[in-house]
Chains A and B, each alone.
Chain A
Amino acid sequence: MSRGWGVVSGFTSKRGPAGLEASERARFEAAVEPLLPRLHRFCLALCHSRQEAEDLLQDALVRAYLRRGDVHSGPSLAWLCGIARNQFLEHRRSVARRRSLLDSVLEGTTTALGSLFAGGVEQPDPEARLGASEEVERLWWCLRQLPEKFRLVVLLCDVEELGHEEAARVLGLPVGTVKSRHSRGRARLGALFAATPGRHADAVSEGGRP
């Protein structure tokens, strides 16, 4: 892709210099562009709300951009997903360190802070809402009911259609583990999907099971 992702991105930016930085950025955007939808779905599978997934995607991309020199052959899906997953785990650990369970319980009396820190300042994206069909939301809801170890493998193998070897590379797992988790995760997902005929859009957009 030669254009930037947004009106202030790439060469049209008023903030960034129009020289080397802008062309570096454009090169990075072009290299990541084909992988962006997959990385976005990976973040959606990791997180329990769209807002959280968008924050994660942004953080992961910025980190990847700043570390683009680490990969001489250009960014790969495995590299990007690894960064996103590390960011996710790092964030989860830091949140756990900062908050005690008691804080969480007392915080249950209000959602004001929670929605702010979950990105609730922004209005929900109308385009995303329109695009998300009931069928997709139902599938996301079912996916999020799976334990993470099954969820990510099912996402990579059944949604992204990666082979077991490639999924193993993305997740940093042995191929045998991926095969086993794929089989068990798919069985669980199939049973959940069959047993869940209703509408679950709210559960997906507001966060599913913790």
Chain B
Amino acid sequence: MSDHDEVRPPLSQEMRSALGVLREEKPSARLRARLGEALVRADDGRACARAAGDVAPGPWRLLLAYPSALALAGLVLGAGLVLLSPPGAAGTRDAEPVPAREVAFRRSGAGERWLELPWSHAVHSGEPATVWLETSPPLDFRPHLTGLPSLALVNCDAARCVHAFTARTGDAATPLRVRIERPGRYELRLSHVSEVRHVQERFVVVVD
């Protein structure tokens, strides 16, 4: 930290005024009532035990506290699962999870190697499928798929990236190859949907 860092930049008059108004912001009466109710519940032995050891978020606690809210959650959850089918899914079919599979991969020699994922493309009966693939940074599959016009990087966070693309299935299925540079244990998640099926797969890749 330098001396320069400690010099506080001046605030504009407009910002001073906004800060003053913000300083007046208080919890509403409704929120105060809600907090009061929460403290009453905390005095209940069940609530005490839950609050002491539970790390579940507030809304879950609300659901457990109110049976009617739990019923509503069930309804919304059902509706949510229907809506979760990605665009292009046949009707409102739910995703079919496939048990996780472990894939052993032995690298021979130094440098990068490509692992072809044994994904269940056959379930789509040759229909094109929209695929979402989640990888973590040591893994890269993009270079191999750059020829796919639909390839898109959908989202990334600090540890993972999700790519989406359309793949061929059946006899001429698009191979999903992942570049592996280092030994380790990697987890890849795959979701693929066609007019026929919607499948979710998880691969645990162990690289020597």
Query: Which candidate, B18-26, B105-113, B137-145, is the interface stretch facing chain A?
Result: B18-26
Contact A186 B9 (CB under 8 A): yes
- On chain A, the residues within 8 Å of B69 by CB distance are 121
| Bound CA–CA A16/B15 (angstroms) | 45
- On chain A, the residues within 8 Å of B52 by CB distance are 66
Contact A183 B8 (CB under 8 A): yes
On whether A109 and B83 interact (CB within 8 A), knowing A9-B39, A57-B31, A62-B38, the answer reads yes
- On chain B, the residues within 8 Å of A182 by CB distance are 8
- When C-beta atoms are compared, the residue in chain A nearest to B33 turns out to be A6
Contact A140 B22 (CB under 8 A): yes
B43 CB–A CB distance under 8 Å: yes
Across the A-B interface, how many residue pairs have beta carbons closer than 8 Å?
A: 213
- On chain B, the residues within 8 Å of A9 by CB distance are 33, 35-37, 39-40
Contact B35 A106 (CB under 8 A): no
Is the interface on chain B under 10, 10 to 19, 20 to 34, or 35 or more residues? 35 or more
Query: Which candidate, B73-81, B119-127, B166-174, is the interface stretch facing chain A?
Result: B73-81
Can you list, as one digit per residue, whether each of A94-132 has a CB less than 8 Å from chain B (1) or not (0)?
Answer: 110000111011110110110011110100010110011
Contact A194 B12 (CB under 8 A): yes
Contact A55 B80 (CB under 8 A): no
B81-113 interface (Cβ within 8 A of A): 83-87
Describe A's contact surface by its main secondary structure: helix
Contact B59 A55 (CB under 8 A): yes
Contact B132 A105 (CB under 8 A): yes
- On chain B, the residues within 8 Å of A5 by CB distance are 32-33, 35-36, 39
| Bound CA–CA A175/B88 (angstroms) | 55
For the A-B complex with A59-B58, A62-B41, A116-B80 known, give 10 more contacts whose Cβ atoms are closer than 8 Å. A9-B37, A25-B40, A56-B58, A62-B51, A105-B164, A107-B84, A118-B59, A131-B28, A159-B19, A187-B9
